[in-house]
C-alpha cells in the first residue's frame, strides 16, 4: 500500500530533475552577492516581511510536521493544531516584546544579546546550550522525520536515509548563507502549499466533500479543546505546558529568530512574524486534514505514522508522485538549511570570535561558519539515529516532548531578563547550567531510561515541562533577590537600555486582524 517507488514513471523522475535544477539555479543566483563575516549569516540586513515569514515557516515546517500532523490527525482529530494556532500569542510576544530589543541592541545572535547584559560567561554558556538545542530540536528531529519518510518510500535503513538528506540540505547553507536559504525557502513553501492542497483536494473528492467528511469522523475529532480526563491531550496540559515550549521555540531560538535579525527594519521584522502566524493557520487544511481523511478512507492502519504515505501512494495519480518526493526534499532543505545557518552563526560569532580567534578577518569568519555546517551535519546524523530508538510515544509526541524538555531553562531566563530588571547573572548562569542538567536529564529519563510505556508514574510530558519551568522560575527569582548583581552588570547597566521603536499603524492593524481571526477560529472549533 505504501510502496511509492513501484508507481514512479519517467514523468515523476522528470519532475524531480526539473525541481532540483530549479533549486540549484535559485541558489546560484541568490548567492552571487558574496557577503562575508556577519553579513553572510544575516543576509546583509536585507530581508523583507514575506522573506522573513516564509523563511520562519520553512524552518518550522519540516518533514516532522508532514509526518507527525498526519499521524495525530489520524488518531485524534484536529486537537494537535493547537500547537500551531495557539502559537500566535507567542509570535505576538516575539514581535512586540523581544524583537524590538533584539534589533535595537544590534546583536547578531541571541547569546550575544544576553552577553551584553550579563557578561561573556553567560554568552558562552548560552551559546553552547543553543548549539545543543539546535542540534537536537531542529537538525536531528527534522532529519529523523525525513529519514523515516524516505525509509517508507525506498525501504533503506535510517542511517543511509539521513546521510543523503543532510548532504543535500547542507549544500545550500554552506554556499550562500541566510540570503540563499531565505530565497530558496520562498520557492519551497509556495510549492509545499500547492502540493499539500492538491493532496487534501484529492482526499476530499474521494470522500465526497466536506459534509461527507464531517459526517464520517468520530465524535470529538473536530474539537480543539479536549476534556480534562482525555488521556492524550487534556486541555490543562496544553494550556500550561505548551507556552513553555512556545516561548523558547519562537522567542529565544536562534533558528527561528535569525530571520528577524536579518530584517531591513523593525516594521519588516514585525510584519514577517505576523505573516508566519497567518501561514500557520494553514496547518489544519494542509497537514492535519490529511490524517483525518486517511482515517476515513483507510481505517485500521497497523501504524498510524503511515497515514501520510498511505494517502500519497493511493491518491496521487501516476505521473505526479514525483511531486511528493519534491515536497519532501523541499521541507527538509528548508528546515535543515535554516538550522545549519543558525548553528554556524552561533558557533562562529559567540564561541570562535569570542574565545578562539577574536582577530579573525571576515573571510576567515565565513570559512569557520562553513566548517561548522559540515560538523553539524555529522553530529545530527548520529542523534537522528538515536531518536529512532525511542519507544512508547507516537511521532508527534516524540517531537513535542523533546522540545518540552529543552525549553524550560531558555523560557525562564529570557522572560526574566526581558521583563524583570532585578534578574541577575547568578540566576541566569545557574538556570543555564543546573537548570539545563535538570531539564535535559529528566527528558533522557522520560524518553530512554524509564520510558513512559513501561513506567506509568510519569505525568503528561506537557505538564512535566511546565513543572520544570515553574521550579526553575522560582529558583531564578530566589537567586535574583538574594544575590547581589555582579560588577559587570553594574558597569554595563546603562548599555542594556535601548531606545526602541513603537509599532507602526500597519503593524497594529496586521496583528489586530489576526487576533480577531484566531479568536473566531477557536470559537468555531471549541
**HEC assignment per residue over 411-476:** HHHHHHHHHCCCCCHHHHHHHHHHHHHHHHHHHHHHHHHCCCCCCCCCCCHHHHHHHHHHHHHHHH
pLDDT of res. 181: 62
Q: Which of 284, 290, 282, 324 is nearest to 306 (CA)?
A: 290
CB 462 within 8 A of CB 237: yes
| 416 CA to centre of own chain | 23
Rounded CA separation 199/55 (Å) = 23
Residue with cell 497497523: 302
Rounded CA separation 497/489 (Å) = 12
Question: Other C-beta atoms within 10 Å of 510: how many?
Answer: 22
C-alpha dist (Å) from residue 182 to 26, 55, 341: 11, 5, 11
Rounded CA separation 341/228 (Å) = 41
Residue partners of 524: CB distance under 8 A and separation at least 6: none
- What is the chain's Cα-based Rg? 22
Helix, strand, coil percent values for the chain (each to nearest 5): 80, 0, 20
Dihedral (Cα; 339, 341, 346, 351), 10-degree rounding: 130
The SS3 assignment for 117 reads: helix
Rounded CA separation 152/61 (Å) = 20
Rounded CA separation 523/518 (Å) = 9
Rounded CA separation 366/360 (Å) = 10
CB 130 within 8 A of CB 413: no
Residue with cell 531518536: 387
Residue partners of 138: CB distance under 8 A and separation at least 6: 59, 62, 255, 335, 336, 338, 339, 342
Q: Which of 63, 59, 16 is nearest to 308 (CA)?
A: 63
Q: Which of 395, 189, 209, 200 is nearest to 312 (CA)?
A: 200
Question: Other C-beta atoms within 10 Å of 168: how many?
Answer: 17
SS (H, E, C) 282-339: HHHHHHHHHHHHHHHHCCCCCCHHHHHHHHHHHHCCCCCHHHHHHHHHHHHHHHHHHH
Q: Which of 412, 445, 405 is nearest to 431 (CA)?
A: 412
Look up the pTM and report it: 0.85
pLDDT tens string, the chain, 526 residues long: the values are 456 667 778 888 888 788 778 777 766 676 555 554 444 445 457 789 998 998 888 778 766 677 788 888 999 999 999 999 999 999 999 999 999 999 988 888 899 999 988 999 999 999 998 888 888 776 777 777 777 767 766 667 766 767 776 766 666 555 555 556 666 667 777 877 888 899 999 999 999 999 999 999 988 899 999 999 988 889 999 999 999 999 998 999 888 898 898 899 999 999 999 999 999 999 999 999 999 999 999 998 888 888 888 888 888 887 777 777 777 766 676 677 777 777 888 888 898 988 888 888 888 888 888 888 888 878 877 777 777 766 555 667 777 888 899 999 999 999 999 999 899 999 999 999 999 999 999 998 998 888 877 888 899 999 999 999 999 999 999 999 999 998 888 888 776 677 778 899 999 999 999 999 999 999 999 8
Rounded CA separation 290/202 (Å) = 10
Beta bridge partners of 263: 47
Beta bridge partners of 47: 263
DSSP 209: S
Instruction: Tell me which CATH code domain 4-29+62-525 carries.
Output: 1.20.1730.10
Amino acid at each position: 500500500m505504501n510502496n511509492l517507488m513501484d508507481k514512479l514513471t519517467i514523468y515523476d523522475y522528470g519532475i524531480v530533475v526539473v525541481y532540483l535544477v530549479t533549486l540549484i539555479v535559485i541558489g546560484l543566483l541568490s548567492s552571487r552577492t558574496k557577503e562575508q563575516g556577519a553579513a553572510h549569516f544575516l543576509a546583509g540586513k536585507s530581508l523583507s516581511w514575506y522573506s522573513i515569514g516564509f523563511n520562519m515557516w520553512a524552518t518550522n515546517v519540516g518533514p516532522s510536521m508532514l509526518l507527525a500532523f498526519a499521524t495525530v490527525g489520524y488518531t485524534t482529530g484536529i486537537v494537535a493544531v493547537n500547537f500551531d494556532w495557539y502559537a500566535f500569542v507567542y509570535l505576538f510576544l516575539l514581535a512586540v516584546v523581544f524583537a524590538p530589543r533584539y534589533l535595537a541592541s544590534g546583536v547578531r545572535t541571541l547569546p550575544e544579546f544576553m552577553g551584553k547584559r550579563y557578561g561573556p560567561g553567560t554568552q558562552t554558556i548560552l551559546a553552547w546550550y543553543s548549539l545543543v538545542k539546535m542540534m537536537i530540536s531542529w537538525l536531528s528531529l527534522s532529519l529523523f522525520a525525513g529519514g523515516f519518510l524516505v525509509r517508507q518510500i525506498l525501504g533503506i535503513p535510517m542511517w543511509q536515509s539521513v546521510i543523503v538528506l543532510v548532504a543535500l540540505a547542507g549544500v545550500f547553507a554552506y554556499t550562500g548563507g541566510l540570503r540563499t536559504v531565505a530565497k530558496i525557502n520562498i520557492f519551497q513553501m509556495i510549492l509545499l502549499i500547492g502540493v499539500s492542497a492538491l493532496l487534501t483536494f484529492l482526499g476530499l473528492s474521494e470522500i465526497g466533500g466536506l459534509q461527507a467528511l464531517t459526517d464520517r469522523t468520530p465524535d470529538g475529532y473536530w474539537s480543539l479543546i479536549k476534556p480534562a480526563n482525555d488521556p492524550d491531550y487534556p486541555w490543562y496540559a496544553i494550556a500550561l505546558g505548551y507556552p513553555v515550549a512556545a516561548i523558547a521555540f519562537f522567542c529565544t531560538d536562534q533558528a527561528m529568530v535569525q530571520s528577524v535579525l536579518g530584517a531591513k527594519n523593525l516594521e519588516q521584522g514585525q510584519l514577517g512574524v505576523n505573516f508566519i502566524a497567518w501561514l500557520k493557520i494553514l496547518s489544519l487544511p494542509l497537514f492535519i486534514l490529511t490524517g483525518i481523511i486517511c482515517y476515513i478512507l483507510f481505517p485500521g492502519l497497523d501504524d498510524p505514522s503511515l497515514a501520510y504515505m498511505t494517502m500519497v501512494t493511493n491518491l496521487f495519480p501516476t505521473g505526479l508522485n514525483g511531486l511528493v518526493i519534491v515536497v519532501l526534499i523541499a521541507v527538509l532543505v528548508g528546515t535543515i538549511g535554516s538550522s545549519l545557518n543558525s548553528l554556524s552563526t552561533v558557533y562562529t560569532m559567540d564561541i570562535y570570535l569570542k574565545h578562539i580567534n577574536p582577530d579573525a578577518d571576515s573571510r576567515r569568519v565565513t570559512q569557520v561558519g562553513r566548517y561548522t555546517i559540515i560538523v553539524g551535519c555529522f553530529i545530527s546524523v548520529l542523534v537522528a539515529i538515536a531518536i529512532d530508538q525511542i519507544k512508547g510515544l507516537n511521532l508527534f509526541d516524540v517531537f513535542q516532548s523533546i522540545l518540552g524538555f529543552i525549553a524550560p531553562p531558555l523560557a525562564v531566563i529570557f522572560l526574566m531578563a526581558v521583563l524583570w530588571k532585578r534578574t541577575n547573572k547568578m540566576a541566569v548562569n545557574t538556570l543555564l547550567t543546573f537548570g539545563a542538567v535538570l531539564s535535559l536529564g529528566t527528558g533522557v529519563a522520560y524518553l530512554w531510561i524509564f520510558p513512559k510505556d513501561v513506567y506509568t508514574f510519569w505525568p503528561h510530558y506537557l505538564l512535566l515541562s511546565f513543572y520544570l519551568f515553574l521550579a526553575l522560575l522560582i529558583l531564578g527569582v530566589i537567586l535574583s533577590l538574594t544575590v547581589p548583581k555582579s560588577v559587570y552588570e553594574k558597569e554595563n547597566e546603562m548599555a542594556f537600555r535601548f531606545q526602541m521603536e513603537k509599532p507602526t499603524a500597519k503593524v497594529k492593524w496586521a496583528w489586530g486582524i489576526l487576533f480577531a481571526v484566531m479568536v473566531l477560529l477557536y470559537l468555531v472549533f471549541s
